[in-house]
Amino acid sequence: MIIDGRTLETQRWGPGPDQAPTLVLLHEGLGCVALWRDVPELLAAATGCGVFAYSRFGYGASDRVALPRPMTYMHDEALTILPRVLDAAGIRRAVLVGHSDGGSIATIHAGAVQDERVVGAVLIAAHFFVEALNIASIREIKAAYEQGDLRARLAKYHRDVDVAFRGWNDAWLDPRFEKFDITGYAARIRVPVLALQGADDPYGTPEQLRVLERSASCPLETRLIADARHSPHLEAKDATLAAIVPFVRSTLLDKAA
């Protein structure tokens, strides 16, 4: 897919957007299309929806970006890039499914953009504000990248692994990023939301869900997933899909009605 003259890596599963609604997958801060593993196929089979995923610029096989990333990189993605991606992909009716940074991007888009195509959102381990635990874990992963085997493992999935890692890690560790807070966007979401978080998430406490419960005025379900850390869709797959699938079905049925 070409956006503003640059190439995005994309992949589809299941029926096309002219045949069924689409689950649009928005990956985490170190993710890409491939790192969703088998989740897209499972979601397509269980919901009957099409599934569409893309690697944001700087990730996977998508074109690189210049560093450093701006402090507004998630806002830029949600407000500028994502609408163009949905246009180019021919998406007609969608549920956004965002993980970590992708969940934050979904929150900003759903709260700020009057996009009639988006009828619901699944937010997995999304960041609504910055916590000390979050920053401590990001410092630890920097050490693992520089001193351990993390760089080699990530290099299997990213065209330019340093751009992928540094763009995310340097932004989060910039003192200016401590002001990141998107609860105002969450308060403006009008479509149904399912928010999930691993009970043992090292990148966020359950207060991330609590602040969403206090902020949101949309139909909202929150759930802590037992035996999961930051990626419950991979670490506790059955429990996570058992939450997502009925939410998607009920959201699409309610919208159709």
What average pLDDT values come out for the chain (257 residues) when binned by 10 residues? 94 97 98 98 97 98 97 98 97 98 98 95 98 95 96 97 98 96 97 98 96 95 97 98 97 69
Q: Cα angle at 198 between 168 and 9, to 5 degrees? A: 40
User: Among 148, 179, 200, 156, which Cα is nearest to 71's?
Assistant: 179
Res 163: pLDDT: 98
Which residues form the domain of 54?
2-256
List the beta bridge partners of residue 8: none
Q: What's the confidence (pLDDT) of residue 4?
A: 87
The total of structural domains in the chain comes to 1
pTM: 0.97
Quick check: helix, strand or coil at residue 139?
helix
All residues at 6 or more sequence positions from 65 whose CB lies less than 8 Å from its CB, including other chains: 57, 58, 163, 167
Q: Can you give the pLDDT at residue 257?
A: 46
Torsion of CA 112, 118, 123, 127, to 10 degrees: -20
Distance CA 32, CA 239 (A): 23
At 218 the pLDDT is 96
Domain of 70: which CATH number? 3.40.50.1820
